[in-house]
Structure 1
């Protein structure tokens, strides 16, 4: 199964896959609205705005597994992201990134991360940079600021 075949749910509750993003460079991020790293939404939006017309997308996947820092409903998450950070990149329904309930997307990302990087997600705002062929090019830690990824994104575009 490829990355593009994995079923996901949009923030508005629609069942879909990532097939619409085939051929694009993707930055897949597990997000949270009540985390010390939440201001990264601003940098993620800036990357999306800068590169979206060149075949790049940020995909946000809210997760409440880290200190309960994403307790809201999908509607509350969408409203928060738009009103506080002007987020226009695609957001999806909450999912689990670790443990027995790990969503198939995160099972795939971790299993296909570069050698030695398949361990559990460490915190909110961990990132996976995916190339145009759907291959995980790089796993990026939660504390790495989005603006630090510009050169990596440009090299894949």
Structure 2
């Protein structure tokens, strides 16, 4: 898993416009989709539950961040950062749920398959017009086999 170094933030005075920008960023983040509501340790996995009732099991052995965790340490694991991260205050751990999912090859393969399926069903205005034009001509032309 890739470690991301925190950037130094220059202190900015909190003005109405800065506050409005922060609220808007939070609103956009909340609407972005991935909102975990709970995490439970079901040995040997973490069960992460989402707003819509779905969930995912992530095996802790695949994540080196949990190497020094004992079974009782997992009880202190909480969902934070507006449902986008797992946090443990005692261990000073904040780990992105999206990052954990993206580190799993089978989950990423499944996600790619789902995205490809969904994208294949979408029809742009150009595709729809081409389909109508082909329909007016009697449908898709038959393939012509070329004899060699």
TM over 0.5: no
Q: Report 1 or 2 for greater relative contact order, CA contacts < 8 Å, sequence distance ≥ 6.
A: 1
TM interval, shorter chain, is: under 0.3
- TM-score by structure 1 length? 0.22
More helix per residue: 2
Larger Rg: 2
